[in-house]
Amino acid sequence: MIKVITVCGNGIGSSNLLAMKISQLAKKNGIELDARPSDFNGALGESPDIFVTVEEFAKQFPAGKRVVTVRSYADKKKIEEDVLPTLLELNK
């Protein structure tokens, strides 16, 4: 199972929406996934397979953390384009 932490400023709205979209994407592609939302500071203490967030937060993660940058928290097509290749790679 792939563990994903989605990150936004407060860990409530945008990251929750993104976690739901990624979960739907994984299900559609037969990938077992656990996606949870978080605020940036809380995410730093986590060790998922990947963090998924927008560029604003992605560039703040320390080196060594695997971060996937999305162009939108809500646009299903953009999320699929940005995240699916990494999910497929991790699912091998």
Mean pLDDT of the chain: 95
Boundaries of every domain in the chain = 2-83
Which of the four pLDDT bands, split at 50, 70 and 90, describes residue 49?
very high
* Mode of pairing for the β-strands spanning 33-39 and 2-8: parallel
**pLDDT surpasses 80 at 11:** no
Look at residues 4, 83, 84 and name the one whose alpha carbon lies nearest to residue 51. Answer: 4
Min mean pLDDT across 1-5, 33-37, 60-64 is at: 60-64
Which of the four pLDDT bands, split at 50, 70 and 90, describes residue 12?
confident
Residue 9 is given by DSSP the state S
pTM equals: 0.94
Per the listing, tokens 């559609």 go with 28
- What mean pLDDT comes out for the span 54-63? 94
Q: How far apart are CA 12 and CA 2, in angstroms?
A: 21
Q: What is the CATH number of domain 2-83?
A: 3.40.50.2300
